[in-house]
Structure 1
Amino acid sequence: MKDEFAASMAKNTPVVGGNFWLWLSNHDINWWVAVATLAYIGASFVFAWRKDRRDQRAREHESAHA
């Protein structure tokens, strides 16, 4: 069963890859700018959240030793 699945995936890889490339190349610059903007906003959120967690742990550590 696993061998059949692997063989099927190997046969379909060029088709799936070709369709993915057509999908990627079919978008205009506005779509790419929107994706980049969303990625930037998401990364900023993650970095701010991590910094806030780090600062909160530092405050807890200072209050425990005070």
Structure 2
Amino acid sequence: MDANQIIDALGGTFAVARLCKVKPPSVSEWRRNNEIPNARLQFLRLARPDAFEGPPAAGQGVADAA
């Protein structure tokens, strides 16, 4: 997942800003840079693990049986 997908899965810019206790322009910058600071990303994973669930990205997860 990229930063935009994560932010969208968490409810959008304002929801993430509220959750992280930062101002929405900070989250908008994360979107523009396509990078959530590591400390914030770790917090979000702990606070909302449901937003990170889903099928593994290509090349990740269980290998196909041959």
TM-score interval for Structure 1 and Structure 2 normalised by the shorter chain: under 0.3
What is the TM-score of this pair, normalised by structure 2? 0.24
